[in-house]
Amino acid sequence: MRYPPTHACPWCMDLGWTWQEVSGRGTIYSYEIVAHAIQPGFKELTPYAVVLVELDEQRGQPTPDEALRVIANLVKADFTPEPEANVAIGKRVRVVFQDLADHIALPQFALTEEPSAGRVWRLPE
């Protein structure tokens, strides 16, 4: 599995591939708090968290230091940004889709109540 999709496998250059459904559940691998939005459309949302999520289906593959990781915003149920105090590496998340228009949805992540797999860490304040 790989994200974003490409024509060939980046490791073996095989051109044969198929789509595979994933659960959309994972762990926050890293994050950044955006305090100053470069794009005007995001200015009212600052500060907001952008998370790098390691999906469960490919944790530690093809090597222990690589995995299927997806970047998205961390949001609450109403799609507003999750407060910075709630963001931490190691917390469990699930994908949620925000409908933007007919046939267009934006994948984002929301925190779950699942226990963390390891130690939870966040930037000191």
Q: Is the Cα dihedral 11, 90, 80, 58 positive or negative?
A: positive
Residue 42 pLDDT: 86
Domains of the chain, residue spans: 25-111
83 vs 123 pLDDT, higher one: 83
Residue 9 pLDDT: 79
CB within 8 A of 110, min separation 6: which ones?
74, 75, 76, 77, 82, 93, 94, 96
Distance CA 81, CA 92 (A): 16
Q: Taking all residues of the chain, what is their mean pLDDT, rounded to a whole number?
A: 88
* Residues above pLDDT 90, as percent of the chain: 58
Residue 1 pLDDT: 63
> Is the pLDDT confidence value at 2 over 70?
no
Closest-CA residue to 47 (of 86, 81, 78):
81
Structural domain 25-111, CATH architecture: Beta Barrel (2.40)
pTM of structure: 0.84
Residue 73 pLDDT: 97
pLDDT, one tens digit per residue, over 22-70 is 899 999 999 999 999 899 988 999 999 999 999 998 877 777 777 788 9
